[in-house]
Structure formats: C-alpha cells, structure tokens
Structure 1
C-alpha cells in the first residue's frame, strides 16, 4: 500500500492490507496517485456527474413548448432516470468490485453523455425516455459520486476517509449549484439543444479523471485473505442477514423520500402559498450551499462521533424542521431558513452510511453493498415524487405528504439507534 500513499510505515501498511486487501501490490508507476490527487479527481467526478442531472428541470419548459408535451411527459422520463439509477447502482458496484472501477466509470460516462445527446435530438416521448430516462439513469449508476465514495474507502488511509467522504458528497452538491446557472445561461444564449450538447461532452471528462480512482480486478489480487475471497452471493447473504445493515438500508429509504419530494414539489408548494418563484429559486440555492457545509462537517465529525448517532440526529432534525415549517405561516424568510436547515442535512447522510457499510463488511464488496442501500434510497425518492403528485391531485394539498415525511424522519431516527458499529463476526480458518 506504500505505493498508494507514499508511506513506509509498516504498521499502517499492515492495517490497510487487512481492510483493503483486494487492492494487492501496486506498481511504482502508480505513485502519482497521492491522497490529494485521489480526492481531487474524485470530487471533480462527483461534481460532473451530479451537475447536469440536477439542471434538467430547466429544460422542461423549452422542450415542452417546442414539442407540445405536457409536463407529465418530462416528469416520467426523470422518474425513470431516478429509478434506474437506483436499480443499476448495485450492478455497477458489483462489476466495479470484481473487475475494477475504471471500466465501470468509462461505460457510465459514455452512457451519460450518449443519453444527454440523445435527449438533445429527442422529438418523441419514447426517445426522451430512452435518453433522459434509461441511458442517463444507468449512466449515473456507473459514474456518480456513489462509486467515488467507494473508491475513497478503498484507496485512502483510514484517517483521511471521513473528510474525503464528506468532500465527495459536497462536490456533488457543488455541481448542483454550479450547473444550474450554467444551464440557464446556455439555454438563454444558445438554445436548449446546444446546452445539452455541451453537457454531454463535459461528461466525457469523467473518463480521464477516473484513472486516479482505478482499482485492479480481483483476478489480479495476490494471495488474498479468506475474508477477501468472499463470493458475491455470500456477501449479499451476510449483509442482508446482518441486523444493523438492514436497519441502515431501511433508514436510507427516508432520505430518498424526503429529498425527492422537496426537490420536485417544494417550488410549487411555495407558489401555492403566495411565495414568488424567485424566492423558490433562492430556497433551492440555499439547500445546495448549506449542503456543502453539512456534508463536510459530517465527514469530519464521523471520525470522532458514533455514526449511528449522527444519522439519528440528521433524520430527527429534518422531522423537526419540517414540522416547524408547515406549522407556522410561510414567509420568504421561513422558506429560506427551511432551505438552509434542509441543506445542512441534505446529503450528509451519505458519508456515515457508506462508512458504516465499510466498517461492517470491509471494502471488498463496498460498492455492491452500498449500491443496494442506494436502491432503498431511490425507491423512497420515486415514491416521494409519485405520491406527492397523486396526493395533490386528489386533495389539492401536500399536507398529507409533509406529515408522512415527518413520520418517516422520526422512524428513521429511531431505527438507526440500535445499529452496532463494529465489523461483522466471521469464522477464521484455524491452522492444521
């Protein structure tokens, strides 16, 4: 491991070999991959991957106007994208764990870029669903910040992982904050087709950046420990038979439900309450900005505080903030304050969740096991968006979903408390 981190400390090398034994010996040609380079390139990938998909909402009006589509056509494509992103994540994670991260990142970036370019030439709902929905959804599964976080856990020494996981998550939020004005400027000055073309070619930058995060295939691993030889099916059976992992996955459902509902329906909710669309834009901007601080802070704190308590606090804080938000008159100040508090807890669940998976099961199948947790997150997101629309159409109000979000927040706060933060017990081979 010294070739990765430039350290000759035997104790650290032995510790790392037990946790990331699948990496095996590294040639001297890889010494350029210092922790700083790995973190920098990983954050750039997270920013690029999360940015364009966060700005796709700005294409709803120009595309719907040009092709006389209802907004439900565009909404269905984005819903498909989110669902396939979640379903594709464990598959991409398993392939990355088995054959190395670089190949998966390359395929993901090509699918992402191809989906955006197909979206640029879409003139029917079918082609829109194929491009913005299927291709971008699977592309995100192969090159989003989720795989970046698993690479950080595999490639970085333990003392650098916490802050790196927070930085990788914050980079995705910065991409959301950065690509929104870029997308608006490109659409206003050059048209939505050219904007999608630029976004598509920018995704190709992920390919060279992913060289810094590449991990070798399992086949190239020399003399792995018995725990590292664990098969895919055994890893899944171990994880889903582990009570703490199941609790973690169930809690992550709430995160997706709350985030997706707020992202899609909060702007309309504010307009219904007499708040201007400009103020709604500031609320979304506040979420993005404060998420950077929240993710970095949690990434730092998880090195010294129990991760289950951090997650419980995040979910309970969301529930309290939502309760206060809907209980008092909605004003521009209260809306922006809600955005700020939501931002602090927005993606800050990701660093401790991925860190707990690594702690419980090691990093051998980290991308796979975190991928299954992310499926739960995305199913929650799909239901948050879908139920929000159904409830509003039936009752003319989002109130039942707000209360459901509060209930889920409290339940997830309680669910995370019994999590045991220690490696899973495994049988150790005895010498003859």
Structure 2
C-alpha cells in the first residue's frame, strides 16, 4: 500500500519523478566512475613498479569496504535521511580519488583507492537510493523503479568508460583521477533533490527496532539464500570489470578493445537491468534470478571455448552486459517484498555486503592467481562453478511477506 502523509503536514517523500531523476543521476556518476577502474591497472602498476596483486588487493578492499559500510550507511539513511548519507559519501569519494592519484606505496593506495572509495560507494549507490524509492513508489511499481535506477548506473558505465579512457590518454592517469574527483562532488547538489521532509510515514505491521529487524532477517532462510546468490554476482562482475582489460592485452589484442568491451557491458546493462525490473513485475523473481545466474555460467563457458577474437569479445560483452546488474532489481525487490520498507536500506546493505565479499574474492583472486599461475584460467572456472551454484540456491527463495507476530508493548 502507499502510505499517505499525516493530515496537515507536508509529505515526507519528494515526487516519484524527482526521486527517479536525482537518484538515477547519482547512481550514474557513482557507478560510472568505479566501472572504469580496470583501465588504471596497467598504467599505475607499470609506473609504480607494483605487481598486479597490489592493485587488485586495493580494489578488493574497496569492494569489501563498500559492503561492510553499506549496512551502516543504510542505517544512517533510514534514521537521519538519505541526502545526508549521500553528501558524506560524495566528499569521501572525491577525497579518495585525489589521494589515489598521489599514493606512493601499496599501503597508501589500499587506504585511498580501497578503504575511502569503498566507504564512499556504500553511501552513494543502490542501498541508499533504493531506500528512498521504496518509500516514494507504490508497491506495484517498485520493481520497475528499481530497474530504472539500476539502468541509470548502467548508462553511467557506458558513458564514463570512453570518457575515462580519453582522460587517461590525453591527460595522464593522475590528472584523470582529479577530474573524476570533481565529478563526484556533483552528487552533493543532486542529493538535495532526495531530501525527504515531514514525519516518517507509518509502516504496515508492528514497528521494529534495528535489532529486531536484523534478528528476523538473518534467521529467515530466504534472506540467507539471497545473500549467497549475491555473493556470486559480486565475484563474477568485479573480476571481469577489473581484469578484463589485462586479460585481453595478455592475449595480444589491441588496447582499445578493452575500452570497447567495458563500454558494451555498460550499454547492454542498461537494457538488461530495465528488462529485469519489468519482468520482476510479472514473473516470480526467484526464477528470474536463477535464470540470470545460469545464463552467466553458460556465457562464460562459451567465451572460454571459442577462439579469442574481437568479435567473440564483442558478443561476450554484450551478453554479459545484459546480465550484468540485472540481479539488482529483483534481489532488492524480494527483500522489500518480504520485510517491507521500514529498514530496506539497512537490509539491502547487508545483502550487498555479501555481494561485496564476493567482489573482494573475485578481484583479489584474479590478481593472486594470475601472479601464481601466469593466467586467469582458474578464476574463470570458479566463476562458472559459482554461477551454477547461485542458479540453484535462488530456486527455493520464498517471496511472500513474512508473517510477523504482534510485538509486546
């Protein structure tokens, strides 16, 4: 149901159109900037004389910090307002990018590119934006709205990859990071468009404290299965995003193909996430998630079996792009469907933490196993096996609203 404002008081939520526009632009900037970090792997490691594991570990910490800070950012957004969390995140993002450009040691690089930017992303991406959307959009349109926001992040990936490649080539990798720091600050005025006013709307069912909400969610089997599936999503997409440029260069393909590959992923991701949002309105979301993970496993398998060439990379990038973030709308919609909107940002943050643990493992193992074996073959095979597992664990997820007992006074 849609929660009406208290009589005589202004509505807490801005209009749906305003939330969608400002939220989409914020996700475009935040996700667009991070999607191109793989382009910095070789210029930074070559100039600094670092092994690839140093860069990969910093990006792994970034994803882990993003996930670990996500529930905290969600709690703050649910409690004090999403716009405040977004402003703090934008400032951390800009600071992390500037410090990333001047880091001289692996430890400093991990602190800036890893810890600071990871915390910034936790407050400027889906968990916080979806919390506002969940309160502003009626239940029958939430999956669609989540798909629109996720598609905006995909559009950012498509637009920012060529721009970041051009900045690195024309200005150098350090100056390119400074430009991106300025772009991150644009999140601040956009955050004001998500400033909710008035009293927090009443929620269906009994009011829950944070502790009660966490005990309920972590004791619920379907929540655990969603977290396990999302772990696999993070492992696959971040391994590919960070290591794909180096994988292609190692096989003698032209450097521009990596930029094209990442841009195609971002382009087809627009259609994939929007389609997933629409399909989540009509079909059981657990089946949709299972199909996405199964198709990812098949896509990677075919990519490894056929001869590596520019056309095979284009096709792989397009198909994988369509499946890239298509898990985001149905996963968050199921969480909302089960537990309601009261603690959505926080619970979405915990689910995303599982995603980021997978991201940590994918990006770090990519660098670690490459340095140990001289190839990415083992990590590709892990990505396939995990995709099959995720397809299976999503099938028994229950999407119905959880039955709650009345809480004692």
**TM-score where L is the length of structure 1:** 0.87
TM alignment of 1:7-406, pairs within 5 A? 15-17=1-3, 27-28=9-10, 33-215=14-196, 220-221=199-200, 227=206, 229-406=207-384
Shift of 1:25: 6.7
With over 3 angstroms needed to count, the CA separation of the structure-2 counterparts of 1:338 and 1:424, relative to structure 1, is same
Computed over aligned residues only, the root mean square deviation of the Cα atoms, in angstroms, reads: 2.5
With over 3 angstroms needed to count, the CA separation of the structure-2 counterparts of 1:202 and 1:267, relative to structure 1, is closer
Cα distance between partner residues in 2 of 1:213 and 1:206: 11
Cα distance between partner residues in 2 of 1:370 and 1:418: 20
**Aligned-partner SS, 2:397:** coil
Cα distance between partner residues in 1 of 2:197 and 2:406: 26
**Structure 1: gaps (5+ residues):** 1-14
Which one has the largest radius of gyration?
1
With over 3 angstroms needed to count, the CA separation of the structure-2 counterparts of 1:163 and 1:279, relative to structure 1, is same
Per-residue deviation, residues 40-69 of structure 1 (Å, max 9, x unmatched): 111000011112222233334444455444
**Aligned-partner SS, 2:281:** coil
Asked whether the equivalents of residues 151 and 269 of structure 2 are also in contact (C-alpha less than 8 Å), the reply is yes
With over 3 angstroms needed to count, the CA separation of the structure-2 counterparts of 1:193 and 1:335, relative to structure 1, is closer
- Asked which structure has the greater RCO (Cα within 8 Å, sep 6+), the reply is 2
**Structure 2: gaps (5+ residues):** none
Shift of 1:388: 2.6
**Residue in 2 aligned with 1:419?**
397
Cα distance between partner residues in 2 of 1:407 and 1:162: 29
Cα distance between partner residues in 1 of 2:117 and 2:408: 48
**Aligned-partner SS, 1:364:** coil
Cα distance between partner residues in 1 of 2:42 and 2:387: 33
Asked whether the equivalents of residues 38 and 243 of structure 2 are also in contact (C-alpha less than 8 Å), the reply is no
Shift of 1:94: 1.3
Q: Which moved more, 1:238-247 or 1:74-83?
A: 74-83
Cα distance between partner residues in 1 of 2:408 and 2:57: 55
Cα distance between partner residues in 2 of 1:188 and 1:274: 20
With over 3 angstroms needed to count, the CA separation of the structure-2 counterparts of 1:90 and 1:116, relative to structure 1, is same
Shift of 1:30: 6.8
**TM-score where L is the length of structure 2:** 0.92
Q: Which moved more, 1:108-117 or 1:143-152?
A: 143-152
Cα distance between partner residues in 2 of 1:181 and 1:26: 50
Cα distance between partner residues in 1 of 2:178 and 2:391: 43
Equivalent pairs counted in the alignment come to 409
Asked whether the equivalents of residues 165 and 351 of structure 1 are also in contact (C-alpha less than 8 Å), the reply is yes
Cα distance between partner residues in 1 of 2:133 and 2:193: 11
Per-residue deviation, residues 127-181 of structure 1 (Å, max 9, x unmatched): 3332222211111111123321222112112233222211111111221222222
**Aligned-partner SS, 1:275:** coil
Cα distance between partner residues in 2 of 1:26 and 1:380: 47
Shift of 1:418: 0.8
Cα distance between partner residues in 2 of 1:155 and 1:121: 41
